[in-house]
Amino acid sequence: MEDLSLARPTRTIGTALHVCQIFDCFRSDRDALRLTEVTRLIGLQKSSVYRLLQTLVGAGYLSFDRTDRHYRLGNAVSRLVEVYRAKTSLSDVVRPFLERVRDATLETSALQVRDGDMRFCLLELPSPQSIRMVVGEHKPSSTKKGASGHVLRAFAADWNEQRDRGHLKRIREAGYAVSRGEQIEGAIAIYVPVVDRRANLVGALGVQAPAFRNPPETVERIVTLLKENARQLALAVDATLSAR
């Protein structure tokens, strides 16, 4: 029997684990499966597998052909694939603009995106200098702290519902946020919003760096640079979406 078992974390929900195992059954060379095949592959009772499959069919994650009695991946999976591709393609679109910002400032450049009350770097290009500030890609942080978090909340649709909406309003009016030592002592972060033509917030474009290298006059120059690159990035994102 082909072993499709998953390594169990310390705490798991059995049903969710079994659903993951069902999806693992499908491959490019095995895109249609009968109930008996899924049962054999994941090692559950046939009645349990049947209930799981029917639930996934009802939710649109699987389809069922009554003629050949095969299950296949459904339209809901296609939507998830599109979401994943959008994130991946966004990284490709963003990279040249991050390179411009990094090369012009010699500081770490990044695009941060929001996920609920958290944020993370979708893409980060570290400074070439020996003393630098690096957050790390895909590491979640709160949107309550840091210039990127402030920008992501200030330009979100729900900004006026935030407790510090007065602070966020000032950021919206200025078009950028600067934070000093909010998360790392001696660090400075400068971020601007990237907003597409439909007024959707794509993310926050910015730099993080040692504060001693960035006096007020340098910060002003970086803000101007970031705003121009954010504008061009928004156009590139719109062009990418229109091409689909």
Per-residue pLDDT of the chain (244 residues; tens, 9 = 90+): 344 444 444 445 678 888 999 999 998 788 999 999 999 999 999 999 999 999 999 999 999 999 999 999 988 886 776 565 555 568 889 999 999 999 999 999 999 999 888 999 999 999 999 999 998 888 889 999 999 999 999 999 999 999 999 999 999 999 999 999 998 899 999 999 999 988 889 999 999 999 999 999 999 999 999 999 999 999 998 887 665 5
Q: What is the pTM of this model?
A: 0.67
Contact 33, 62 (CB under 8 A): no
Half-sphere CA count of 211, side-chain side, radius 13 A: 12
Tokens encoding 178: 């600067």
Helices (H), the chain: 14-25, 35-42, 46-58, 75-105, 147-154, 165-174, 216-242
